[in-house]
């Protein structure tokens, strides 16, 4: 696991971008599920208006990130095959990309774990309310 986190070759970065995308998709489904209970509200001010219309929020959180992450991957791939950049520059670009992607995965993992925790607590919340 530690080796995967530290690894920043193109294949590893591609896998991490897929993981990031899946965490993002899980986030919107869990958010919509929790919002339907009436006990929760969207904490992200950008998404607060979008979640009022579930179909729009799904489009925004499923399609838009897929396009963005695909674009990011293609740009990272261009760097790795670039003839203009020195190997040290490519190494640095991949390293920075890896750190950024790992940080994003960490944040989304925390958000999704929080959603999972609240979902597990729903039966207890309903009995209290």
Give the integer Cα–Cα distance in Å for 26 and 28: 6
> Token pair of 102, please?
């790992």
- pLDDT at position 27, please? 95
**What tens digit of pLDDT does each residue of 100-122 get?**
999 999 999 999 999 999 999 98
Are 10 and 76 contacting, i.e. CB atoms less than 8 angstroms apart?
A: yes
Residue 129 has pLDDT above 70, yes or no: no
pLDDT grade, residue 3 (50/70/90)? confident
**What tens digit of pLDDT does each residue of 24-56 get?**
999 999 999 999 998 898 988 888 888 989 889
Domain boundaries, the chain: 9-128
User: Half-sphere exposure (CA, 13 Å, Cβ side) for 12?
Assistant: 16
Give the integer Cα–Cα distance in Å for 81 and 67: 21
Residues 90-97, mean pLDDT to the nearest whole number: 90
pLDDT grade, residue 21 (50/70/90)? very high
Give the integer Cα–Cα distance in Å for 32 and 22: 16
């Amino acid at each position: 696991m530690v080796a995967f986190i530290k690894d920043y070759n193109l294949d590893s970065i591609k896998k991490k971008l897929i993981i990031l995308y899946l965490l993002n998709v899980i986030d919107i489904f869990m958010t919509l599920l929790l919002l339907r209970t009436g006990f929760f509200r969207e904490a992200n001010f950008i998404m607060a208006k979008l979640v009022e219309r579930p179909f729009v929020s799904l489009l925004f959180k499923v399609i838009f990130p897929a396009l963005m992450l695909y674009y990011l991957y293609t740009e990272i791939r261009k760097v790795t095959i670039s003839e203009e950049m020195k190997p040290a520059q490519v190494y640095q670009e991949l390293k920075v990309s890896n750190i950024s992607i790992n940080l994003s995965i960490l944040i989304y993992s925390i958000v999704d774990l929080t959603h999972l925790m609240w979902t597990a607590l729903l039966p207890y919340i309903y009995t209290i309310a």
